[in-house]
């Protein structure tokens, strides 16, 4: 599960990845049960806009998903991504087991080294155990497939993930 700004563009990034079998946008890592979009946008729930990614590890490995995550947004911006500001736009990796945690933490270290070498800031990404996932309202699911001219594109910080 990944949070990297507006979940519409993030979902499209992952659904286009070969080996990803399903995506769902929603809310996680907050304090209120069953949040709504309006409540999350108020900043009072503490939830993050996230994408739950289901993938076939025989077709795509977790390292590839982490690469998409790091290159798909600017993990140094804190509680925002571009013009979208608020706790719901923070950078987060929500892991489901110890193997994912180790991979996520290791990839963060590697990407921080690349960012530091390029004179960029410190990564603010939270890496925590996957909290309860609350699916977003139906109109948010596959939003950019239904609204191809939607404005919520993901943009990275221009630094490639190190090989």
Task: Look up residue 155 and give its two tokens.
Answer: 């943009």
What is the pTM for the complete model shown?
0.96
The pLDDT score that the predictor gives to residue 160 is 92
Residue of 159, 148, 58, 144 whose CA lies nearest to 110: 159
Q: Work out the mean pLDDT of the chain and round it to a whole number.
A: 95
Show me where the domains of the chain are located: 2-146
Between CA 7 and CA 39 the distance in angstroms is 16
Residue with tokens 């410190």: 122
Q: How far apart are the C-alpha atoms of 13 and 148, rounded to whole Å? A: 13
Q: How many C-alpha atoms does 141 have within 13 Å on its Cβ side?
A: 10
Say if residue 153's pLDDT is above 90: no
Q: How confident is the model at residue 163 (pLDDT cuts 50, 70, 90)?
A: confident
Find residue 20's DSSP bridge partners: 55
- CATH number of this structure's domain 2-146: 3.30.1060.10
Catalytic residue list? 6
**94-116 pLDDT per residue, tens:** 999 999 999 999 999 999 999 99
């Amino acid at each position: 599960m990944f949070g990297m700004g507006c979940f519409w563009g993030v979902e499209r990034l992952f659904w286009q990845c070969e080996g990803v079998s399903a995506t769902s946008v929603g809310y996680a890592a907050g304090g209120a049960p069953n949040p709504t979009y309006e409540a999350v946008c108020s900043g009072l729930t503490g939830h993050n806009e996230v994408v739950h990614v289901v993938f076939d590890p025989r077709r795509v490995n977790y390292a590839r998903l982490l690469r998409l995550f790091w290159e798909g947004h600017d993990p140094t911006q804190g509680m925002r991504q571009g013009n979208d500001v608020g706790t719901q736009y923070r950078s987060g990796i929500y892991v489901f087991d110890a193997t994912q945690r180790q991979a996520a933490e290791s990839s963060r270290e590697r990407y921080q080294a690349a960012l530091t070498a390029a004179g960029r800031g410190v990564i603010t990404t939270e890496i925590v155990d996957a909290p309860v996932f609350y699916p977003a309202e139906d109109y948010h699911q596959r939003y950019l497939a239904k609204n191809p001219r939607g404005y919520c594109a993901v943009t990275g910080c221009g630094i490639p993930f190190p090989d």
